[in-house]
Structure 1
Amino acid sequence: MKPLTAAASLCRLALLWLVTTGVAVAVPAHAPWSLMPQPAKVTQATSGAVQIADGAVVTVRGTKTNEVQAVAEQFVQRVASTRGLHLHLGESGTITFDVDAKADIADDAGYRITVNDKGIVVTSRSARGAFYGSVTLWQLLTQPGWVHGAPAQVSYGSVDDHPRFAWRAVLLDSGRHVQSVADIKQLIDGMALSKLNVLVWHLTEDQGWRLAIPKYPELTKIGACRRAAGLDAELTGSPGTPYCGFYTEDDAREIVRYAAERYVDVVPDIDLPGHSQAAVATYPWLGVTGKRPDVWTDWGVSPWLLKPDAKTLGFVYDVLDEVMRIFPSRYVSIGGDEADKQQWNASPEVRAQMHTLGLANMEQLQGWFTQQVAAHLVKHGRTPVGWDDSIEAGVALPASERVMSWHGNDDERIALTAIRQGHDVVMTPQETLYFDHLQSDLPDEWPGPPLAVTLQMAYGTAVIPPGATAAEAKHVVGVQAGLWAEHMLTFAHVQHALYPRLAALAELGWSPENARNWSSFLQRLPGELARYRALGIGYADSAYAPVFQVTGAADGAFKVTLANQVASGTMRFTTDGAAPTATSAAYVRPLTLANHTTLRAATFAADGFELAAPRTQVLDASTLTTRDSTALATCSKQPPTHLEGVRPASGDRPRYAVDIGNACWLWPQAPLHGIKHVSITAERLAWRFGDEAKDATVYRKTGAAGEFEIHADTCKGPLLARMPLDSTVQGQVHLKADVAMPAGAGARDVCVFATGDPRDGQWALARMTFSQ
């Protein structure tokens, strides 16, 4: 190698300095910044950039130095763990966090980022604003196509940003299934990086009391445990080991502390007077009947309400005093939803109390109870938060109460009513922001209730009720997603349900209305998914997942059409069973494929990032004569719930589309020509569906354990096959039968149902196949 000249040595040293610090460099025009949620104002130059590489310095200056120092340290750690760049704090840095209480910034949570030849400056009025600016700066360092450890080029420009709403929330249900402290911290991290700032923590339920209250120790000895019914037995290890869990004061304080460092307010949710069966199971005197129920193992709405008397109110006040001691939030949620009054109505004592108070009905009695609880919170300087059920029932809520409006039907009529009664309202419509709901009708969609809440539906949530005036619209203080945990056994499921719909929620809560655009959101989403992956977040790919539509073609071939929910990304495929890559053939038109082909398809972004994992469609003699339950209609015409079965010894846990209480499916125009045999794969699931029991459909059985029956034309049409069942079998069963084909069989409607009472065990159909 030739020795370097002096000039070459200087050039090499200069290049080394450029790479290891972070300075302005001239670069060609850049792609538009991919930021989430979309900032209020973005100005991006066509040329020029600041390079940030290993060793770049981050400086803190201005007021509140200690708080901002903590923000900067979190930023440095985040960049190192995700981007692979190791920055450090020091003087005269390329990146500066500057906090000035008098800065010309729109909001205390707002910030400004400027990128120019002097470096990158994040300006804010507060440490909170600096934190949100640090999140956006991290996103600027993780633009699409970034490479771990490689220097980042941040193009010249500026971001001026502040939140639209003050309440940007996720409700986490720890009552039905418990998450670990570490899991909740991970959730808080994800919220904070989406600029969400309120965690409503649902701590009490019919199925479990989850917060230790020293004055009432039995709440976590009795109320925190339930019989391990259904899949809970897999979590505990056996049906004989109860499902238990609660949070100590230290646990709760640690979560509050951790959240505060990320500018997330933890709002405790103690549901009253309904959703209280676990409390009544602990102390029967809290209930109306005096009897001790079990801690509930079903899902749904329990009739075990708290007794609305002075003794119960004393208990409630004691609990809330402890809650206020642990949680510093200005807000405390007291629920008020789904209070089934059947026990109140049946109680002479409660009816007498209602008349003594001069009330007309039990809804008003609940309103009186809520007034007492709210007054206790107000006396202690807190603001009560609760659901909109009383308003729907025509009963006024306490004037002090902030209302979470989940009844989104009828053009948000209930939310508008709450506003006109003087309440501040948080919009959390179940139709579009209950993220425990299904995201799609894909066969591999994780369990959840209908109706589906797609990514686009979440993004399109009506935040301001139609008909609200400009003055009334100011009483909408925020948005909130619900994560109800009936079907969420694990934190992996919580993540699957939350992401990427969290990105839609974030943009609803943060971005000004004129900055929100669905097409722009889709263009920016791949960059956010890449960040999720770098953070180790197991997000759902349902929106991008390829969906196969298969029909017959000439000479025994198949015509296959591919699509995905958001009509975005490039679907790439293989026909040899190999997993598609970013260089595999792109789908541009329907495919005609031969018999005995294994088609696999995945979706990719423009930079090659995998947006959806490969899905597989096998094309063979059974393809057109097989349906899984997601491809069948329900006999009731109601949308199905997706449920999980028992985990097999190997492979994935099975998933089913089930009309709860009616084990009946329809296959319109099934191809029956020449059919001689039928097979069914099914599983008997534990009944845990509470108030669904009253609407259960019972089909008359002929055998002791029932059977699957298959009929042509209608559910009372010609019997094609009957397959006896065994109620003692655990896991999936595989049934086969000959088909008694009626004359003239071709394409015929088919009805298949399980006989017997579904409340003794809900049969779920995995798939059925006809064969010759």
Structure 2
Amino acid sequence: MASMQRAIHMTDTTLFPQPARLEISGQPYALMKDARIIAEDRALGEALAGYLRPATGFALPVLAADGAASADNTIILEAIAASDSPEAYSLTASGTTLRLRAAHRRGFLHGFQTIRQLLPRQILSSEVVPGVEWTMPGLEIDDEPAFGWRGLHLDVGRHFFPLDFIKKFIDLLAFYKFNTFHWHLTEDQGWRIEIKKYPRLTEVGGFRAETVVGLSNSGEYDGQPYGGFYTQDEIREAVAYAEARGITIVPEIEMPGHAVAALTAYPQLGCRDEGYQVRRRWSIAKDIFCAGKDEVFTFLEDVLDEALALFPSEYIHIGGDEAPKDRWEACPACQARIQSEGLADEHELQSWFIRRIEGWLNARGRKLLGWDEILEGGLAPNATVMSWRGSEGGIAAANAGHDVVMTPNTYCYLDYYQSHDTDSEPLAIPSILPLEQVWDYVVIPEQITKEKRHHILGGQGNIWTEYMPESDHVEYMMFPRAIAIADVLWNHPQERNYAALVERLRQHLPSLDALGVNYRRTDEAASA
């Protein structure tokens, strides 16, 4: 966690996430038509201008530091000496001068989002809005996040979303200062990433014959073929788009479970050599990658080799969750592997599987990240755990000296119903996660010893899309709950005032209207 003392001075300025220190001081700031942006890094100056020009219609030329005779009518982007926090920034606003200081690019990018939220919300328009006074209070802000991992996850395996929405999703993450997009790309129900060496993964595995209607066990299907995938060029475009906004995309390639789409394309990779079809309903499939066949690891390394060329992220998520052992128990090749490797059982076989993949990733300078099931049978030496089945797995991993991303389902699963009145809500996973409960999310449980707490990298919200066929439904399930997650991960407040959160949201939610977001309006935060 960052060391900045978090002294929040409440004002009439509503920001999400709330800055570490904000004080109203001096005269109000006004962005004038003849304002200039002063920046040594021209690309950064143009990035800020790109946010401000559309709604204001102002030219906002970007000049080098020696291109302005005075500080009047300027937005100054000032690089400072190195900071312990790569995402820290400070902002002062008074008169016609706005000064943003940071040591690193991401700090400037976060400052840009603060400026967008401080100006009248018409600044979010993509077209010129006449007659607006582009002002904000005179203020001083010193800000940095409490955690270095602040993420949101999107499952595109159950339902596929086009690149335009992926970009909108990234824009929304940036607006709330998230820095990680966990992109869940492979599933039983669809393989969504083009792999040149294995074209059948998307040609066959990217499409299912039909989709279950309603809950997974309904027995009713829609009879409509469904699918889609991202080309490698589209993925490169998404990665570059995210990086330009200060966001790292962490890809997830599921193994050994959630593999039916891949097995349909290449049946020889399973314990059975035939009989697969891209899964039409939800729930957990028994068919997983065979751990006894060497060709499976050749395949997975080939897939990861292409993925690493697309995603420069430090971490690669390999899933590791919900892998039933039924097929392994009956598979001669898997049983032979257990014997040859001196393993006790199928749980240790999964641990061996994950360790082998981790060694391959580590040799290429990457880190393995997996759901907390990778703890079962023994954790790989350098693995990072994403704790989702409550916090227990994360507690155990951190106390054992492993890095952890906390995403307990009871606080962070945004596919759960938002209200106990489920009849008035769209179909969702049959659990309840209201906004108030999200706000109670504690990232570092007290059971983690003080000397091990640095292993908690941060946390994230997760969006699983079994019941979200359309992008506006994803937005509805995200907001306003994702805003509360952003606030917790940036500030990790020790005291939580839900009534104050509701009031802040009431003032802020019109910004989502301006951004064209389909948020949930029936919560008290939207109607207070």
TM-score, normalised relative to structure 1: 0.62
2:114 aligned partner: 136
Higher relative helix content: 2
Measured after TM superposition, the shift of residue 415 of structure 1 is 1.0
Deviation at 1:145, TM superposition (A): 13
Distance 1:341 1:378 in 2: 26
- Out of 309, 321, 324, the residue aligned to residue 305 of structure 2 is 321
Residue in 1 that maps onto 2:169: 187
What does residue 375 of structure 1 align with? Answer: 359
CA contact (8 A) 2:443 2:492 kept: no
Cα drift, residue 230 of structure 1: 3.8
Quote the residue 2:470 is aligned against.
490
Pick from 179, 189, 197: which aligns with 1:215? 197
2:523 equivalent to 1:543: yes
Counterpart amino acid of 1:164?
Answer: A
Matched, 1:293 2:273: no
Among residues 48, 51, 54, which one is paired with 2:30 in the alignment? 51
Could you tell me which of 324, 334, 337 is aligned with 1:353?
337
Q: Which runs of 4+ in 1 moved over 6 A?
A: 143-148
- CA–CA separation in structure 2 for the residues paired with 1:470 and 1:85: 52
Which among 383, 397, 400 is matched to residue 382 of structure 2? 400
Contact 2:87 2:110 in 1 (8 A): yes
Q: What CA distance in whole angstroms lies between the structure 1 residues aligned with 2:113 and 2:228?
A: 34
In structure 2, relative to structure 1, the CA distance for the partners of 1:220 and 1:496 (3 Å cut) is same
- Find out whether 1:519 has 2:499 as its counterpart: yes
Residue equivalent to 1:126: 104
Residue 313 to residue 503, structure 1, CA distance change in 2 (3 Å): same
Which is greater in Rg? 1
Deviation at 1:117, TM superposition (A): 4.0
Distance in 1, matches of 2:105 and 2:470, equals: 34
Distance 1:431 1:530 in 2: 28
Counterpart Cα distance in 2 of 1:512 and 1:97: 30
Distance 1:503 1:270 in 2: 27
The question of whether the paired residues in 1 share the 8 Å contact of 2:145 and 2:491 is answered with: yes
Q: Check if 1:69 corresponds to 2:52.
A: no
Distance 1:364 1:277 in 2: 22
What TM-score does the superposition give when structure 2 sets the normalisation length?
0.90
- Partner amino acid, structure 2, of 1:273: P
Residues 106 and 356 of structure 1: CA distance in aligned 2, closer, same or farther (over 3 Å)? closer
Query: For the residues of structure 2 that align with 1:37 and 1:540, how far apart are their CA atoms?
Result: 19
The one-letter code sitting in structure 2 at the alignment partner of 1:109 is E
Kindly state the Cα deviation for residue 426 of structure 1 after the two structures are TM-superposed: 0.4
Q: What SS class does the counterpart of residue 214 from structure 1 fall into?
A: coil
Uncovered stretches (5+) of structure 1, i.e. residues with no partner: 1-29, 233-237, 545-567, 570-602, 605-772
Deviations 1:729-751 (A, max 9, x none): xxxxxxxxxxxxxxxxxxxxxxx
Distance 1:151 1:328, change over 3 A: same
Q: In structure 1, what is the Cα distance between the partners aligned to 2:496 and 2:140?
A: 19
> Secondary structure at 1:168's aligned position in 2?
strand
Deviations 1:501-526 (A, max 9, x none): 11111112112435864333222112
Identity %: 33
Match of 1:456 in 2: 436
CA–CA distance in 1 between the matches of 2:99 and 2:110?
Answer: 13
Q: 1:355: how far off?
A: 2.0
**1:413 alignment counterpart:** 392
Alpha-carbon distance between aligned partners in 1 of 2:196 and 2:72, rounded to the nearest angstrom = 50
1:89 to 56, 61, 64: 61
| Counterparts in 2 of 1:244 and 1:145: CA distance versus 1, 3 Å | closer
Aligned counterpart, 1:445: 425
> Larger % of strand: which?
1
Query: 2:385 corresponds to which letter in structure 1?
Result: V
Structure 2 contact 211–224 (Cα < 8 Å) conserved: no
Does residue 196 (structure 1) correspond to residue 178 (structure 2)? The answer is: yes
Deviating more after overlay: 192-201 vs 122-131:
122-131
Q: CA deviation at 1:31?
A: 5.2
Tell whether the 8 Å contact from 1:206 to 1:278 is kept in structure 2 after alignment.
yes
* CA distance, structure 2, for counterparts of residue 87 and residue 136 of structure 1: 21
Instruction: Decide whether the 8 Å contact of 1:33 with 1:143 is kept in 2.
Output: no
CA displacement 1:620-656 (0-9 Å, x = unmatched): xxxxxxxxxxxxxxxxxxxxxxxxxxxxxxxxxxxxx
Q: Which runs of 5+ in 2 are unaligned?
A: 1-9, 63-67, 215-220
**Higher RCO (CA-CA < 8 Å; seq separation 6+):** 2
Structure 1: how far apart are the matches of 2:275 and 2:50? 49
Aligned to 1:432: 411
Cα distance between partner residues in 2 of 1:66 and 1:402: 37
**How many residues are paired up?**
500
Letter in 2 for 1:397: L
Deviations along 1:269-292, whole A, 9 cap, x unmatched?
001000001111111110001123
Aligned to 2:87: 109
Shift in Å at residue 441 of structure 1? 2.9
Out of 260, 266, 275, the residue aligned to residue 283 of structure 1 is 266
Paired AA for residue 504 in structure 1: A
* AA aligned opposite 2:238: I
Query: Within 5 A, what are the aligned runs for 1:649-688?
Result: none
- CA 1:37/1:435 → structure 2, altered by over 3 Å: closer, same or farther? same
Looking at structure 1, the residues matched to 58 and 496 of structure 2 have their Cα atoms a distance apart, in angstroms, of 34
Aligned to 1:100: 79
Shift of 1:142: 2.9
Give the direction of change, closer, same or farther, for the CA distance of 1:138–1:424 in structure 2 (3 Å limit): same
Question: For the structure 1 residues 32 and 295, does the alpha-carbon distance in structure 2 shift closer, same or farther, using more than 3 Å as the test?
Answer: same
Counterpart position of 1:574: none
Q: Is the 8 A contact 1:280 1:286 kept in 2?
A: yes
The one-character-per-residue Cα deviations of 1:517-575 (angstroms, maximum 9, x if unpaired) are 4333222112321111101111112322xxxxxxxxxxxxxxxxxxxxxxx67xxxxxx
SS in 2 for 1:370: helix
The answer to whether the 8 A contact 1:38-1:515 is kept is no
